[in-house]
């Protein structure tokens, strides 16, 4: 099994139209399809499809109390509930995953005509997150033939281009078992690990990736030998393990952040001292330091090049889920040198309410 890329993400939300309007207005997504309500009575739901370059987002809201989205939203609030995984053969990937111990969620289903068929099949992931294998005879075609009447420009505004990675928070003791399970079931491998210490808090972090590097999880576990911190707070507020943030790629972070910020999205702020020290620490990074300072963008460098990144404030009522915007200019790591700045910024947000 080789997971080639992220086909789509599906968020379970309380109000799909409201969530879609926010992503379209602030982040530049195009609303390209709406389903008619599926199911009947208490099992019903409705979905909105959004696209932007190589990103596909599905927003699903329950219209009845028995749909899985209703239970998810009650337990966690709005959040990422499904990660669609591009594979060569969804039916074979599903069979292999179940044989290796994955819990089946939805058996293979094929939609569309010959030459344009799409196959979906799902297994359980971590917490309440489902993994949906997807194989497409015609990449770039309809998301789910017959389910949506797709319209609009799938490129959106082009502020964001792809999904870079997912950050996952797990309770203490869950990190290593999750790593083993994803190696055994999904063929993923650890590509980076570290112990992060921020003041009196600490956490363990491991990065796992598919062989193609098309799927990346950064998994964070709190260190209980230190004071409780933000990972503990996420797990408590979310009600168990889950996706803390989705990192969206951009090829022009100044344009993306400037535009998104002007449309009302609040980003975490960074002290001026960070930018005073930046030229001496990293040299030239491709964007003027004053622009980075103005937009609160963080910078890091590894052996491959430069990475620029920024995190939104959490607009979630539980202060759990948020987003990242990342611009990779050769760098392949995840901004270890910025973790301290990020967590100090989150602490300020928690202390001040903004």
**d(C-alpha 92, C-alpha 87), whole Å:** 9
Q: What is the pLDDT of residue 168?
A: 98
For the residues of 96-130, what is the DSSP string, one character each?
Answer: HHHHTTPPEEEEEEEES-TTS-EEEEEEE-STT-E
Q: Tell me the sheet residues that pair with 247.
A: 165, 324
pLDDT tens for each residue of 140-150: 889 999 888 78
Distance CA 296, CA 254 (A): 10
Q: Is the dihedral of CA 206, 217, 164, 294 positive or negative?
A: negative
Per the annotation, does 245 bind a ligand? Answer: yes
CB atoms closer than 10 angstroms to residue 156: 22
165 marked as binding residue: yes
Q: Which of 350, 243, 338, 247 is nearest to 292 (CA)?
A: 338
Helices (H), the chain: 16-27, 68-76, 90-99, 175-186, 230-238, 253-262, 272-282, 289-295, 339-352
DSSP assignment letter at 278: H
Q: Give residue 119's pLDDT.
A: 98
Q: Set out the domains of the chain in order of their start, with CATH numbers.
A: 3-150 (3.10.180.10), 162-353 (3.10.180.10)
Sheet holding 130-136, edge to edge: 30-34, 45-52, 55-62, 5-12, 79-86, 130-136, 118-124, 104-111
pTM for the full predicted model: 0.93
Q: What is the pLDDT of residue 5?
A: 98
Tell me whether residue 324 is annotated as binding: yes
Please tell me the predicted confidence (pLDDT) of residue 197. Answer: 83
Question: How far, in Å, are 25, 70, 146, 340 from residue 142 at the CA level?
Answer: 23, 27, 9, 42
* CA-derived radius of gyration, the chain: 20
Q: How far apart are alpha carbons 133 and 129 in whole angstroms? A: 13
What sign does the dihedral 236-237-239-241 (CA atoms) show? negative
Residues 164-188: tens digit of each pLDDT: 999 999 999 999 999 999 999 999 9
Helix (H) or strand (E) holding 142: none
pLDDT along the chain (354 residues), means of 10: 95 97 97 73 84 97 91 98 98 98 97 94 98 95 88 90 98 97 98 86 93 96 88 96 98 98 96 88 94 96 94 95 97 77 64 60
| pLDDT value of residue 36 | 64
Rounded to the nearest angstrom, the gap between the alpha carbon of residue 350 and the centroid of all alpha carbons in its chain is: 22
Extract the tokens encoding 336. Answer: 């270890």
Contacts of 288 (CB under 8 A, 6+ apart): none
């Amino acid at each position: 099994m080789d997971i080639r890329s992220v086909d789509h993400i599906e968020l379970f939300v309380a109000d799909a139209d409201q969530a879609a309007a926010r992503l379209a207005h602030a982040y530049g997504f195009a609303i390209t399809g709406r389903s008619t309500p599926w199911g009947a009575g208490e099992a019903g739901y409705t979905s909105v499809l959004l696209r932007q370059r190589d990103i596909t987002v599905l927003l699903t809201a329950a219209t009845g109390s028995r749909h899985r989205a209703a239970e998810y939203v009650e337990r966690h609030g709005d959040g990422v509930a499904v990660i669609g995984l591009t594979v060569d053969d969804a039916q074979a990937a599903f069979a292999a995953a179940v044989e290796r111990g994955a819990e089946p969620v939805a058996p293979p289903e094929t939609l569309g005509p010959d030459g344009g068929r799409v196959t979906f099949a799902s297994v359980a992931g971590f917490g309440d997150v489902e993994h949906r294998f997807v194989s497409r005879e015609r990449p770039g075609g309809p998301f789910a033939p017959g389910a949506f009447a797709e319209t609009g420009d799938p490129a959106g505004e082009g502020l964001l281009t792809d999904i870079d990675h997912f950050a996952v928070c797990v309770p203490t003791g869950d990190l290593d078992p999750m790593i083993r399970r994803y190696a055994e079931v999904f063929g993923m491998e650890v590509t980076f690990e570290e112990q992060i210490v921020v003041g009196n808090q600490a956490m363990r972090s491991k990065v796992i990736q598919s062989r193609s590097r098309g799927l990346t999880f950064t998994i964070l576990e709190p260190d209980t030998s230190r004071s409780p911190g933000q990972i503990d707070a996420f797990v408590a507020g979310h009600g168990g393990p889950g996706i803390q943030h989705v990192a969206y790629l951009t090829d022009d972070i100044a344009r993306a952040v400037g535009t998104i910020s002007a449309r009302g999205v609040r980003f975490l702020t960074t002290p001026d001292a960070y930018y005073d020290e930046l030229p001496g620490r990293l040299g030239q990074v491709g964007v003027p330091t004053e622009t980075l300072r103005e937009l609160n963008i963080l910078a890091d460098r590894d052996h491959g090049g430069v990475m620029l990144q920024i995190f939104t404030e959490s607009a979630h009522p539980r202060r759990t889920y948020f987003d990242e915007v990342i611009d990779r200019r050769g760098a392949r790591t995840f901004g270890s040198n910025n973790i301290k700045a990020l967590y100090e910024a989150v602490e300020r947000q928690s202390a001040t309410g903004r």
